[in-house]
Amino acid sequence: MKSTGVVRKLDELGRITLPIELRRNLDIEDREALEIFVDDDTIILRKYNPADVFTGEMDNLIEYKGKKVSKASIVNLAKLAGLKIME
């Protein structure tokens, strides 16, 4: 991990502000979703990229009931269910 040298205090609601220079460098737009991860005592923020719920794949995604599923996973699930697939 690389330190940016930026220190921010939480406000009364537990929020922080990411400096504009950091948002520009990482191409983070206003209102863009960020994922939050925890590793021991470290908090990690990452731009949110929706991925296939089964494989983590990020190509050829289709949304179904609020979840992202790749076309490859759909084909594999159909085959697993015994359905004939015409590609």
* CA distances to 35, 54, 58 from 67, in Å: 16, 10, 12
The structural domains of the chain, with segments of one domain joined by +, span: 1-48, 50-87
Task: Note if the pTM is more than 0.85.
Answer: no
In CATH, what is the architecture of 1-48? Ribbon (2.10)
Question: Which pLDDT tens digit goes with each residue over 34-86?
Answer: 989 999 999 999 888 889 999 989 889 998 988 899 999 999 999 999 998 87
Mode of pairing for the β-strands spanning 34-39 and 42-47? antiparallel
- Residue 84 CB partners (closer than 8 Å, separation 6+): none
